[in-house]
Amino acid sequence: MSDKRDSRNIGIVEEPKGSGRYYVRVYHAGRRYKRRAASKAHAREVREEIRVAIRKGEWPPKPKAKAVLFDDLLEAYRREKAREGKAVMDGNIGFTRLLDRFGGRRADSLATREVKEWRDELLKGHTPATVNRHLTILRAILRMGIRDRRLDPSALPDFEPLDENNERVRYLTGDEERRLTDTLPQSLRPLITVAIHTGMRRGELLNLTWDDVDLVGSSVFVRRSKSGEGRRIPMSPTVRRMLSALNQARRERMHSSVIRQSEAERSVFTAPRGGFLLNLNRVWYRAIKRAGLEGLPDPDGPQVIADDSPIRSFESGAFTSRGGDTGCARPKAVGDAIG
């Protein structure tokens, strides 16, 4: 009888004696494992579960993956895209918004309800297209965590993108254009003016070189647009005067002082002392507020075009001038220019 009772308790110990704390000890593959049980009877159940797992080859259990923070996934995503040479989102504002909302959280704790609430909050100050871009990046970050086995697939929340209306165009009157440019820093007025009158995107403007500007023929050539093809854009008299003045100022600097690398590469739009233009988002929102034009689209939104621009109407995905077809692909104008 005692042998039978002892066999039922093999591997079960009470430590310390008389404490009522029971443990199960298991030796497997040269290693000892110890598991806590709530009672002696529970210890027997735990021991049998371990024996079954050993027979199935499921012992020892795999260690639980360490909880990963959303911040870590976001940074890993940015590094990966940087290695691939892909610009996921212009500037850091989108990533900053993600960190402000979900930073410091476990990546597997994001609920569908929270994502929807964040989407609706963004919609109060941004267009549906901008909100959808943020949702797309959030989903891509979490899917990368699942791909790298740092996140369980069940942790991925549902995403409901918004319906977009990408064909709206906002035409500025002459008075609105003057109010807007008057509130801008002097160094940014040329860029914004050219954006309004040509519909060029931000990347196209910042990558524009003097080799692409034909002051004689009054046109600007975009070597690589969003579609992957080049296009030629006609200049309005305003744009021609603005670019002529910039070119003359650059020539004077070249003769009077050492020029910076950006000017040596013949970039059209640079910071006052050379180099790239930064913090354009902040300048844009401040300018439209001071000009009383808060209703203008945000930097990633629809088109904002001067009323007297050669590019005036939007038909079937392409702009046409008053005189006929310009052959220009779809531009996004000042909103995208400074995003």
Among 122-131, 201-210, 225-234, name the one with the lowest average pLDDT.
225-234
pLDDT at 299 over 80: no
In the DSSP assignment, the letter for residue 211 is G
Element (H, E) at 127: none
pLDDT of the residue at 120: 93
Provide CB contacts within 8 A for 197, sequence distance 6+. Answer: 235, 236, 238, 239, 305, 306, 308, 309, 310, 311
- Are residues 71 and 104 in contact, defined by beta-carbon separation less than 8 angstroms? yes
Q: How far apart are CA 204 and CA 331, in angstroms?
A: 10
How far apart CA 315 and CA 318 sit, in angstroms, is 5
Amino acid 107: pLDDT: 92
The whole-number pLDDT of residue 105 equals 93
Return the bridge partners of 22, or none: 14, 37
Task: Name which residue leads in pLDDT, 225 or 209.
Answer: 209
Give tens-digit pLDDT for 142-155: 999 999 988 888 88
Q: Could you read off the pLDDT of 48-62 as tens digits, one per residue?
A: 999 999 888 888 887
- Top-confidence residue, 73 or 1: 73
Q: What are the residue boundaries of the structural domains of the chain, listed by start?
A: 2-55, 70-155, 169-337
Task: Give the SS3 label for residue 165.
Answer: coil
Pairing mode, strands 22-28 and 12-14 = antiparallel
pTM score: 0.46
Lowest mean pLDDT segment, chosen from 2-6, 99-103, 284-288 = 2-6
Q: What is the pLDDT of residue 7?
A: 76
Mean pLDDT of 101-117: 93
CB < 8 Å & 24+ apart, contacts of 40-45: 40/9, 40/12, 40/14, 43/12, 44/8, 44/9, 44/12
Residue 304 to residue 87: CA distance in whole angstroms? 24
CA atoms within 13 A on the CB side of 176: 17
Question: Residue 170 has what pLDDT?
Answer: 65
Report whether pLDDT(338) > 80: no
Q: What is the pLDDT of residue 274?
A: 67
What DSSP state is assigned to residue 83?
Answer: H
State residue 23's pLDDT score: 93
> In 3-state terms, the chain is what percent helix, strand and coil (to 5)?
45, 15, 40
**CB 47, CB 62: distance < 8 Å:** no
Q: What is the pLDDT of residue 258?
A: 54
- The pLDDT of residue 195 is 85
Residue 300 pLDDT: 44
Here the tokens at position 219 are 């046109």
Average pLDDT of the segment spanning 250-278: 68
Write down the residue that tokens 């930073």 correspond to: 103
**Euclidean distance between CA atoms 219 and 233, whole angstroms:** 5
Burial 11-45 (b: 16+ CB within 10 A, else e): bbeeeeeeeeebebbbeeeeeeeeeebeeeeebbe
- Statement: residue 25 has pLDDT above 70: yes
Query: Which comes out higher in pLDDT, residue 71 or 85?
Result: 71
Residue 201, beta-bridge partner list? none
Mean pLDDT of the chain: 77
SS3 16: coil
Architecture of the domain delimited by 169-337:
Orthogonal Bundle (1.10)
